[in-house]
Amino acid sequence: MGEFELIRRYFQHGLQRREIALGNGDDCALLAPAAGQRLAVSTDMLVEGRHFLSTVDPEALGHKALAVNLSDLAAMGAEPLAFTLALALPRADARWLEGFSRGLLALADAHECVLMGGDTTAGPLNICITVFGQVPQAQALRRDAAVAGDDIWVSGSLGEARLALEVFRGTLHLDTSDFVAARARMERPSPRIALGMALRGIAHAAADISDGLLGDLGHILTASRVGAVLETAWLLDTSLHRTLSAYLSTDEVLSRLYPWVLTGGDDYELVFTAPASGREAVLAAGRQAHVALTRIGRISATPALVMLDPQQQPLPPSTVAQWRGFDHFSSVP
């Protein structure tokens, strides 16, 4: 199978939408965002051995490669339009390509996001996707827009992808149904596009949680030059707490619950801030997007992160420091 046959067979996307004036097949695709809209652009690369294992189901990999990119659009409040796919493949394996493109294009169809071009080459497996979305001018959910006094919210549930990772690492055992659920969170994240769009004009700042809640909230705090006071009582009301409690002693549960919810990573939920006067509107946006929302703290003018124990007492900074967000280069000497 030659390069062009491969592209035609697996990456020719039937989907069309009016903002894509010209799709793949020419030297460039042509994009025509609607009047008054800003183009939102983001790239994410997935490298074998770093972001996924060679044994991963190709269909799940296709889904995840696009999902992590769509998650960035969600965090901006943008509506997906299109994406490009740059793919390095060790070999043209029809079974792998068929699964990968099925997972990829099913999620693309679900979000009406057109595969409008790309590049295909031989090499170590590497998947690079660039997504393009649109968001009305002045409604983008920027990281630098948090204001002292804002509530801090998170969507969905955190730490479950990490649960699956620990099972793969052999540090935790789960029964089949719990493992299947955790693995789905790790391999098939649901980008919170509907929520991001519903939060336009309501939320101030937002980020998606790819590297852990504390790390990604930290990006908002730094960009907005503010701090935060975070509650922790809500951690005891998470689905991760319920799952862990079925397998471990109370002490073991707590020693995993905090770091996994706060810094586990790979969650692809949204963390966002909104004025306290907008609480009803935030909750309505969650209902509209069918996503549970939890209010976890508030933005403070002092640029520091303070965490409160369930008795509202500040936790020692050394404890909080242990829960830093995952950093891809922290293990590089």
Q: Label residues 238-263 b or e (16+ Cβ within 10 Å = b).
A: bbbbebbeeebeeeebeebbbbbbbb
Is the Cα dihedral 137, 131, 56, 169 positive or negative? negative
Choice between 132 and 272, CB closer to ligand ADP: 132
Q: What is the closest distance, in whole angstroms, from the C-beta atom of residue 26 to ligand ADP in the complex? A: 6
Bridge partners (DSSP) of residue 24 are 26
Distance CA 315, CA 296 (A): 15
The contact pattern for ligand ADP, residues 4-23, with x = CB under 6 A and - = no contact, is ---x---x------------
Q: Is position 117 an interface residue for ligand ADP (rule: CB under 6 A)?
A: yes
Question: Near ligand ADP by CB under 6 A, which window of 25-33, 62-70, 123-131, 266-274?
Answer: 25-33
Helix (H, G, I), strand (E, B) or coil at 213: helix
Of residues 235, 233, 236, 204, the one with CA closest to residue 221: 204
In the bound state with ligand ADP, the residue whose beta carbon lies nearer, of 100 and 268, is: 100
Q: By CB under 6 A, tell whether 115 contacts ligand ADP.
A: yes
Q: x-or-dash pattern for Mg ion, window 64-103, by CB under 5 A?
A: ----------------------------------------
For residue 215, the Cα-to-chain-centroid distance in whole angstroms is: 13
CA quadruple 172, 177, 180, 183: dihedral sign: negative
Query: Which residues, 109 to 128, sit near Mg ion by CB under 5 A?
Result: 119
We find the least distance from the C-beta atom of residue 279 to ligand ADP, in angstroms, to be 43
105 lies in the site for ligand ADP, by CB under 6 A: no
Q: Are strands 151-155 and 270-274 parallel, antiparallel or unpaired?
A: antiparallel
From candidates 16, 25, 175, 201, binder to ligand ADP by CB under 6 A? 25
Q: Which of 2, 18, 26, 277 binds ligand ADP (CB under 6 A)?
A: 26
Residue 3 touches Mg ion, criterion: CB under 5 A: no
Query: What are 88's two structure tokens?
Result: 């390095």
Q: Which residues make beta-bridge pairs with 228? A: 299, 305
Q: Which of 14, 27, 176, 318 binds ligand ADP (CB under 6 A)?
A: 27
Shortest Å distance, C-beta 97 to ligand ADP: 10
Give Dmax over CA atoms of the chain in angstroms. 65
Task: Decide: is 126 part of the binding site for ligand ADP (CB under 6 A).
Answer: no
With CB under 6 A as the contact rule, the residue among 24, 71, 190, 263 that binds ligand ADP is 24
Phi-psi region of 250 (alpha: psi -120 to 50; beta: other; left: phi over 0): alpha
Among 153, 168, 178, 164, which residue's Cα sits nearest to residue 269?
A: 153
- Is 41 strand, coil or helix? strand
Partner whose footprint covers residue 251, from Mg ion, ligand ADP, none (CB < 5 to 8 Å by kind): none
Question: Which residues contribute to the site for ligand ADP (CB under 6 A)?
Answer: 7, 11, 24-27, 85, 87, 115, 117-120
Question: Which residues contribute to the site for Mg ion (CB under 5 A)?
Answer: 119
